[in-house]
Amino acid sequence: MPPKPSVENIKAASQGLHAPLAGEVSNAEDYFSEAAKQLLKFHGMYQQHDRDQDGPKTHSFMIRTKVPGGQLSAAQYLAHDRISSDFGNETLRLTTRQCIQFHGILKGDLRDSIRTLHNVLITTLGACGDIVRNVMACPVPSTDPRRRAAQAFADELTLALFPQTRAYHQIWLDGEALIDETPLDEPLYGPTYLPRKFKIGIALPEDNCVDVYTQDIGLVALFDGAETLAGFNLLVGGGMGKTHKMETTFARLADLIGFVTPDQVIETCRAIVTIHRDFGDRENRKHARLKYVLHEWGVERFKAELQQRLSFTLQPPRPMPTLRNVDHLGWNAQGDGRWFLGLPIENGRILDESSKQLRLGLRTTLERFDLGVRLTPQQNILLTDIVEADRPTIEALLYEYNIQTIEQISPVRRLALACPALPTCGLAIAEAERISPQLITEFEQLLDDTGLVGEPIVIRMTGCPNGCARPYVAEIAFVGRSKEKYTIYLGGSFDGERLAVEFLDLVHADDLVPVLAPVLRDYHAHRQTGERFGDYVYRAGIDTLRALVPQPVGEAVGD
């Protein structure tokens, strides 16, 4: 059997993401070849199979839409909902990058799904792949000119960093299977695009809902006075993904590089993307993110290279404002006499169950009131532009469909995130979304037992070390290590400005909560006034806390 072609060779031979994908869309197979499967990601799709099934693989596809800043109209949301019924598995999945995913789409329905989205001005191009992914921004609807100014850059950056390939329209919308022989001009990305994915997020003073330090480029909006956008502090080189026991890979927070004015943002971001394009590792995909360039070069060399690519002089950074972890849930005034309602969606999964008709209730509410929709980086949903007179009726609808509000869940459940993991994600080595709700229930009981009832602690869970739920900045993280076993990380900051530290390795799923009991008891006994759990871990020291745990439970890191 010939070796699999490298992703770099596949991209180089694709003629702008066309071949061999275009020729395989309409063939009789229920799957794509390895080369076409890699290109499919750039078009916003992943080939998957149900890993719970025995026997021959039955292939299906995940489609991810690209939603800058998480902003949707009612019509756009409802188009997603229809696709989940017509072609998907009757669920929607909100992502930690403010997108929507469908699972269970069959190959023969891909084109109709993409066309349905295109009809409401939604694309999937660039939602996945080695390219700039969905640009994140705080989704809160507001008349505050500061919020509106910052949010506008999510759209501006999306347009400025969008790929120029014609393959998406030709394959999915026009149905033209032939490859366009006209030379493709990708002035930003080049013929092989980026070495790996690239992520951008925009934060506001007092509002770090996007986890700005985890982005390849983080922009922190700064203001002169009450309304004037002065510019952005520029953070570069964050990233969550790593590989277990491979020391050359690691989670990393972005470095503060400088300050740029609003008219310099686009040029700066394009220049940074080209640095990743030109210097990112194209031999080892596990080491290909921009964060490794920053780590190996250092800030000063990176700034020098960036300066050479700019037409203006990069300014030194301004003082960083306070950043807060805000989820924007509950009833909130928009400032124009209308309201938005933030609803918690556990692990981002919108579905109907016998006890809770979440999907039907959201659909009914949006069809009746034609509200705006905003998706949050915490996998939740905001219903916007609600007039005062409609609030009682909307609350009654929520009650009718048994849709939970923040008053009905604990702070720790409100803050929790989990990735989809098994059975669909091909990278997952352990469960996450399917066991997270029960794990949080057990943790709620532990908080009760240790005198910490209602304590807000950020817990995140992933089925592999790639970090899609941003676990490495959580106060507590459970990261899939092998089947039914996890690495526990402790000590990230509540507001996302510090990395967690490895605590115990190879802990069985049944032991994840019990093993933390002595740590929680010590936190209750020795915390300082108002001290968050992550800050207590950082102050106490990971070795001190590890000594509290009876052995053997899992393995101490480094053993």
Q: What share of the chain is helix, strand, coil (3-state, %, to 5)?
A: 35, 20, 45
- Tallying the residues shown for the chain, one arrives at 559
Buried b (16+ CB within 10 A) or exposed e, 392-423: eebeebbeebebbbbeebbbbbbbbbbbbbbe
Query: How far is it, in rounded angstroms, from Cα 395 to Cα 385?
Result: 15
For 184-231, the pLDDT digits (tens) are: 679 999 999 999 999 999 999 999 999 999 999 999 999 997 778 999
- The radius of gyration of the chain's CA atoms, rounded to the nearest angstrom, is 23
Specify the pLDDT at position 206: 93
Angstrom CA distances, 410 to 330, 403, 455, stand at 13, 15, 8
Contact predicate 274/309, CB 8 Å: yes
Specify the pLDDT at position 181: 52
Active site residues: 64, 133, 197, 199, 419, 425, 464, 468
Q: How many CB atoms lie within 10 A of CB 324?
A: 15
Query: How far is it, in rounded angstroms, from Cα 332 to Cα 354?
Result: 30
User: What does the DSSP assignment read for 503-537?
Assistant: EEEEEEGGGTTGGGHHHHHHHHHHPPTT--HHHHH
Tens digit of pLDDT at every position of the chain (559 positions): 556 779 999 999 999 999 999 999 999 999 999 999 999 999 999 999 888 788 788 899 999 999 999 999 999 999 999 999 999 999 999 999 999 999 999 999 999 999 999 999 999 999 999 999 999 999 999 998 889 988 999 999 999 999 999 999 999 998 754 445 555 679 999 999 999 999 999 999 999 999 999 999 999 999 997 778 999 999 999 999 999 989 999 999 999 999 999 999 999 999 999 999 999 999 999 999 999 999 999 999 999 999 999 999 999 999 999 999 999 999 999 999 999 999 999 999 999 999 899 999 999 999 999 999 999 999 999 999 999 999 999 999 999 999 999 999 999 999 999 999 999 898 999 999 999 999 999 999 999 999 999 999 999 999 999 999 999 999 999 999 999 999 999 999 999 999 999 999 999 999 999 999 999 999 999 999 999 999 999 999 999 999 999 876 665 444 3
Residue linked to tokens 């996945």: 128
CATH number given to 413-556: 3.30.413.10
Specify the pLDDT at position 182: 56
The domain limits of the chain are 413-556
Contact predicate 537/475, CB 8 Å: yes
Specify the pLDDT at position 25: 95
| Helix axis angle, 391-400 to 358-369, nearest 10° | 160
Angstrom CA distances, 233 to 152, 226, 441, 474, 543, stand at 17, 18, 39, 23, 35
5's CB contacts (< 8 A; 6+ apart) are: 13, 34, 35
Query: How far is it, in rounded angstroms, from Cα 22 to Cα 457?
Result: 47
